[in-house]
Amino acid sequence: MTPQDIIKIKQLLAAPKQIVIVTHKNPDGDAMGSTLGLYHYLKKYNHQTTVITPNEFPDFLKWMPGENSILKYDSETNVCNELINSADIIFTLDFNEFHRTGHMEKVLEHSKALKILIDHHQAPGSYAQYAFSDVTMSSTCEMVYHFIDMLGDIGVIDVDIATCLYVGIMTDTGSFRFPCTTSATHKIIANLIDKGANNAKIHNDVYDTNSYERLQLLGCALTNLKVIPELRTAYISLSQEELNKYNYKKGDTEGVVNYGLSLENIIFAVIFIEDKQEGIIKISLRSKGNFSVNDFSRAHFHGGGHINAAGGRSDLSLDDTIKKFISILPAYSNALNYE
């Protein structure tokens, strides 16, 4: 995003507009934090602003300021279509291509609104008139902070904006421990705390509100953990039956894939989660170092993301998906055994 772009965006936002903010399907902390952070910012300038998520978001984010104003496309499709079709500006946050929004893909494609993309995923699409894309950023929330900064409005950040942006930076950096965490990230976090973000409470609300069943499901996942030491790989599977047994709710498996990476000498961790309703296996992939799970997922599992964190899916059965995975792995032996 050039300084000229910023000047033009500032001019655009000088008068109240109809604005829609969208994010990816199965929104996570960064998707929710960035959209709601931007929402609170735009409200300050009296824009008519609506956040639309493709579907429901996890319970552990249902305390975030503004979350009760969010429209969910899958259950409020008509009103969402009207808002998208009449929007002057659509901000697309924390995703790179319209297909990441699931059933919203077509209406977004056809919309005449001006699009502004803010995102840190690889390979951003070319649909946006203004794109702020940077794969070195820890999170889209960090980018929204920079965006507000570029607009000269750090002084406008209040406790609601600060709280929302804090959430996404915290979740996408694994609580400030992944390599994408820089000194700039910490400086922004410090500023957000100064603006009123209650760091201890936010951490508690996101991470320490587990149900007993969620912990039991984690126990089941860890029991299912398999290790292939010679390929420095660990993987977990969860069948629909197992999810049902522990009364699975959206978000319950968030972060579980990371346990594989906590094993000594393991640099590649994957979780396969059966979704009978959608008829797919949802896959999450994580790595350490140079092994690109973005490339791996793009090549074999219709997905993508970042070097060290990506998603994907398979249309095979759970067993066959795992068999496919195991059969592919040896081809990556050199990449996995780097030192």
Q: Rule CB under 6 A: which residues touch ligand 5GP?
A: 24, 28, 96, 100, 121, 284, 303-306, 309-312
The item of ligand 5GP, Mn ion, none sharing an interface with residue 146, based on CB under 5 to 8 Å by kind, is: none
Residue nearer to ligand 5GP on the CB measure, 159 or 307 = 307
CA distance 201 to 77: 34
Q: How far is the CB of 43 from ligand 5GP (least distance, A)?
A: 25
The item of Mn ion, ligand 5GP, none sharing an interface with residue 50, based on CB under 5 to 8 Å by kind, is: none
Q: What's the 3-state SS for the chain?
A: CCHHHHHHHHHHCCCCCEEEEEECCCCCHHHHHHHHHHHHHHHCCCCEEEEEECCCCCHHHCCCCCHHHCEECCCCHHHHHHHHHHCCEEEEECCCCHHHHHHHHHHHHHCCCEEEEEECCCCCCCCCCEEEECCCCCCHHHHHHHHHHHCCCHHHCCHHHHHHHHHHHHHHCCCCCCCCCCHHHHHHHHHHHHCCCCHHHHHHHHHCCCCHHHHHHHHHHHHCCEEEHHHCEEEEEECHHHHHHCCCCCCCCCCCCHHHHCCCCCCEEEEEEEECCCCEEEEEEEECCCCCHHHHHHHHCCCEECCCEEEEEECCCHHHHHHHHHHHHHHHHHHHCCC
CA distance 70 to 300: 34
Q: How far is the CB of 303 from ligand 5GP (least distance, A)?
A: 4
The item of Mn ion, ligand 5GP, none sharing an interface with residue 142, based on CB under 5 to 8 Å by kind, is: none
Instruction: Choose the binding region for Mn ion from 27-35, 122-130, 197-205, 222-230 (rule: CB under 5 A).
Output: 27-35
Query: 279's torsion region: left (phi>0), alpha (psi -120 to 50) or beta?
Result: left
Q: How far is the CB of 224 from ligand 5GP (least distance, A)?
A: 17
The item of Mn ion, ligand 5GP, none sharing an interface with residue 47, based on CB under 5 to 8 Å by kind, is: none
Q: How far is the CB of 31 from ligand 5GP (least distance, A)?
A: 7
**Two tokens at 328?**
């592919």
The item of Mn ion, ligand 5GP, none sharing an interface with residue 311, based on CB under 5 to 8 Å by kind, is: ligand 5GP
Residue nearer to Mn ion on the CB measure, 83 or 169 = 169
Phi, psi of 236 (to 5 degrees): -130, 145
Q: How far is the CB of 21 from ligand 5GP (least distance, A)?
A: 16
The item of Mn ion, ligand 5GP, none sharing an interface with residue 309, based on CB under 5 to 8 Å by kind, is: ligand 5GP
Q: Which residues in 206-245 contact Mn ion (CB under 5 A)?
A: none
Residue nearer to ligand 5GP on the CB measure, 35 or 83 = 35
Q: Does 172 bind Mn ion (CB under 5 A)?
A: yes
Q: Which residues in 122-141 contact Mn ion (CB under 5 A)?
A: 140
| Closest residue to Mn ion: CB criterion | 30
The item of ligand 5GP, Mn ion, none sharing an interface with residue 96, based on CB under 5 to 8 Å by kind, is: ligand 5GP
Q: Does 119 bind Mn ion (CB under 5 A)?
A: no
Q: Which x/- pattern, by CB under 5 A, does the window 299-328 give for Mn ion? A: ------------------------------
The three-state secondary structure class of 292 is coil
Residue nearer to Mn ion on the CB measure, 189 or 336 = 189
> Site residues (CB under 5 A) for Mn ion?
30, 94, 140, 172
